[in-house]
Amino acid sequence: GAGVSQTPSNKVTEKGKYVELRCDPISGHTALYWYRQSLGQGPEFLIYFQGTGAADDSGLPNDRFFAVRPEGSVSTLKIQRTERGDSAVYLCASSYGLASDTQYFGPGTRLTVL
Amino acid sequence: GDSVTQMEGPVTLSEEAFLTINCTYTATGYPSLFWYVQYPGEGLQLLLKATKADDKGSNKGFEATYRKETTSFHLEKGSVQVSDSAVYFCALSDYGNKLVFGAGTILRVKS
């Protein structure tokens, strides 16, 4: 079936604006993860959903970042009052949710804050 | 907290050379260990994994053995190809599924 999809693939915004990034996981995957990858670095964990609830949001850098998954499928990562330091590739992954399950990654959304 | 350290790149090899990319980890529990690969223009994909000590993960000619005594998970391949050129990430998952990644190692294979 289809893999993890993310939209948009690229987003350019101005400092202070609000952005939403969308993730469509693989059908049947109950676990969904958001990561952020800065240039030359490995992905850093942001938040993990099991079903509709956030099971671990310890990676969200501050209260400008928020994510939802209202129906247990599609997820939206929301960033308020964007800053230039938020520029990065935002990756979404999904899995069946069991420990050590393979996480399947989407292509990412490249966010640029001017 | 948990962390992963991998050798800095770029690593440049000739075709058919032997590859080793070193990876060591720090974790409070008994993590699962992974190697992910990112080919140019593509997303991250799992290359191999090992879930307990002494397990060997293997795929596409790549191998890595989970060494608890040295907290290592080094990636090896006996004969690299140009098509192996990519960025390789070592990662661990401990207590709760989230992945902790190393900084990545760029591999360039010349023909």
Mean pLDDT of successive 10-residue stretches along chain A, which has 114 residues: 90 98 95 95 95 92 96 96 97 85 93 98
User: pLDDT tens digits for B30-77?
Assistant: 899 999 999 988 889 999 999 999 999 999 999 999 999 999 999 999
- Quick one: pLDDT at residue A76? 98
| A83 touching B (Cβ < 8 Å) | no
| A75 touching B (Cβ < 8 Å) | no
| A32 touching B (Cβ < 8 Å) | no
- State the first-to-last Cα distance of chain B, in angstroms, to the nearest integer: 41
Residue of B47, B51, B99, B106 to mutate, testing the A interface (most A Cβ within 10 Å of its Cβ):
B99
Positive/negative CA dihedral, B5, B9, B12, B15: positive
Parallel/antiparallel/unpaired status of strands B105-110 and B11-14: parallel
The CA-atom distances, in angstroms, between B47 and each of A34, A69, A80, A83, B90 are: 20, 28, 35, 34, 10
Residue range B7-36: mean pLDDT, rounded: 94
- Give the nearest chain B residue to A104 (CA atoms): B45
- Quick one: pLDDT at residue B99? 93
**Quick check: A43 and B43 CB within 8 A?**
no
Percent with pLDDT over 90 in chain B: 86
User: Which B residues, 60 through 89, put their C-beta within 8 Å of a C-beta on chain A?
Assistant: 89
**Quick check: A100 and B49 CB within 8 A?**
yes
d(CA B71, CA A15): 42
Q: 3-state DSSP: chain B helix, strand, coil percent, rounded to 5?
A: 5, 55, 45
| A90 touching B (Cβ < 8 Å) | no
- Quick one: pLDDT at residue B75? 98
Residue whose C-alpha is closest to residue B35's, from B102, B89, B108, B98: B89
- Quick one: pLDDT at residue B30? 86
- Quick one: pLDDT at residue A82? 98
Residue range B73-90: mean pLDDT, rounded: 97
- Quick one: pLDDT at residue A101? 81
- Quick one: pLDDT at residue B81? 97
